[in-house]
Structure 1
């Protein structure tokens, strides 16, 4: 397939771009800078599209016909809802003008399902989005309902890498440099987790096999207490205080923005549908063991 990847040089997008290129797909990557262009090319992008998701009018009309779009881009700014809406406003009509209707994999997220407590959310659970991301619910529905594309939605869990990256970045940095690792909302808060390599494979499988209108939770580990994650990093880096310190949701929102309240959501989500319907087989199912092997070069 000829696939346009939006967000292909970010932590998740880079893994997806590499997975698709390795699977023989012709990948186009949207890039804003020379550094991004070099990174996309190193990941296997066969063509580069210069532009910014915030200004789609400058590049959308120059796109070749596509077999698919994978949309993973989000800037986490206060304008992210407007930026995403403007992108869909420009991109969907362009795709509608093609002779062949392409597939469109849209990215939602686990924070659209709210606090689950001891329950386990599935794709059929009603949305209960974090207010900062409530816009994603109608945007995902817009893609699914569009006659311009065969829409598919993936809701990733909390994404980490075996290098201490992704949602583990702050844990690794604090464990390596500070007196204690901080957790938002308390050590018993649970996160649904997925390794970025496993998630990339899910995107590829969804692109190749998922029926139109399908949605999947990209979750490898149903729900792991953040206190266990923090303690694993404290052991790895011999942090002076082995017990995590609690940060309130208000404090993290003041530091990073309202979107960061999601770190305090206590969630358990199931990735069973993707396993059953797509043959997804996540391999990274022991985050604590992987934390033990994280390198010692954690930085801020």
Structure 2
């Protein structure tokens, strides 16, 4: 099949280019820059330069392009968000961007549309100890700062799953980690003793980005139209355990503890996320219907596989910094 991939140069998009092509699919990647287009061509994909938030430019750039399916991986998150404002650009991609891509899907003749979603579509609240299945109620407005983010996730899913003439599928990803900037940033913070952890962190589900990419290809090929799938590993953990695991993987001391109330004062967003919102995802449906299973069923396993890439990236960055510091190499 021929797949139009939005967010093709992002963390999961780059993996999807490789995995989709490896599964025999042709990929047309959307990117906002010519530099991104060149990276896509180097990876064996076709490239279209357009901004999914600019409807007219997007449709014009796709004139004459044909595709059997669209995969929407457009987000604006390069690192773990630290405040509500960090999520607003991604909210736009999940609302206006999704609407534009649905129109683009019809223009290119696609019959299938797979969109990214996120575990907090169920709401930024304490969901208790039982893992959530896909038929759990989605998050409702509660008059708080998180409402706008939940509304964007819900709108994204609802538009795709009910789109006329398209087989829509939504993937409710758990928290990403892997060989990507967000994880590398946490590992760096751990080595510098700048990674605090809440004294009593609440629960979350996570998924290695490689496993998320594999699930996305499986959903594209075998997902049931009109349905959503939780994409998570097998072992939820607390935020405290999650951050401890990063420190252990980096060979660093255990993160210093902050009382939950103090953690919320330092960062209201992270405090709400890590000390009041609690969510575990059940991945049974994805395993059964997609034929998918995580290669890294536990965060600790997955981080062990990441550290070699992280150390290599650090060494490369240190070498570049030393080169920049050498006399005579700067502009004169």
Q: 1:77 to 1:180 in 2, by over 3 A?
A: closer
* C-alpha RMSD of the superposition: 2.7
Q: How many Å separate the matches in 1 of 2:110 and 2:176?
A: 30
Q: Deviations over 1:83-107 (max 9, x none)?
A: 4433334333343356x55100011
Matched, 1:56 2:72: no
Distance 1:146 1:290 in 2: 36
Match of 1:108, SS?
strand
Aligned to 2:44: 44
Aligned residue in 1 for 2:116: 107
Match of 1:117 in 2: 128
1:286 paired with 2:287, answer no
Q: Deviations over 1:110-143 (max 9, x none)?
A: 1112332312111111012642422210221111
Q: Gaps (5+ residues) in structure 2?
A: 77-85, 141-145, 319-332
Q: Residue in 1 aligned with 2:79?
A: none
Q: In structure 2, do the counterparts of structure 1 residues 250 and 221 end up closer, same or farther at CA, with 3 Å as the change threshold?
A: farther
Task: State how 1:70-219 maps to structure 2 within 5 Å.
Answer: 70-75=71-76, 76-97=86-107, 101-114=110-123, 115-128=126-139, 130-134=146-150, 135-161=152-178, 163=179, 165=180, 167-176=182-191, 178-183=192-197, 185-219=198-232
- When normalised by structure 1's length, the TM-score is 0.85
- Assess, with a 3 A threshold, how the Cα gap between structure 1 residues 186 and 154 changes in structure 2: closer, same or farther: farther
* Matched residues, number: 289
Q: Distance in 1 between matches of 2:172 and 2:34?
A: 30
Q: Secondary structure at the match of 2:267?
A: helix
Show the counterpart of 2:69: 68
Deviation, 1:213, is 0.2
* SS of aligned partner of 1:118: coil
The structure with the larger Rg is 2
Q: Equivalent residue of 1:181, what SS?
A: coil
Contact 1:93 1:148 in 2 (8 A): no
Please list the CA deviations of residues 50-69 of structure 1 after superposition, one character each: whole Å capped at 9, or x if unmatched: 01122131122442122100
Give the alignment's TM-score, normalised by structure 2.
Answer: 0.77
- Contact kept? 1:156, 1:194, Cα under 8 Å: yes
Partner Cα distance (1:290, 1:282) in 2: 10
Q: Which one has a larger percent helix, Structure 1 or Structure 2?
A: 2
Question: 2 CA distance for matches of 1:82 and 1:93?
Answer: 16
Q: Is the deviation greater in 9-18 or in 219-228?
A: 219-228
Tell me the distance in 2 between the aligned counterparts of 1:292 and 1:205. 25
Q: 2:284 aligns with which of 262, 269, 272?
A: 272
Distance 1:201 1:4 in 2: 17
Q: Kindly state the Cα deviation for residue 206 of structure 1 after the two structures are TM-superposed.
A: 0.8
Q: Runs in 1 of length 4+ with deviation above 4 angstroms?
A: 258-261, 297-300
What residue ranges of structure 1 are gaps of 5+ in the alignment?
none
For 2:235 and 2:281, locate their aligned partners in 1 and report how far apart those are by CA, in whole Å: 5
Residue 72 (structure 1) shift: 0.9
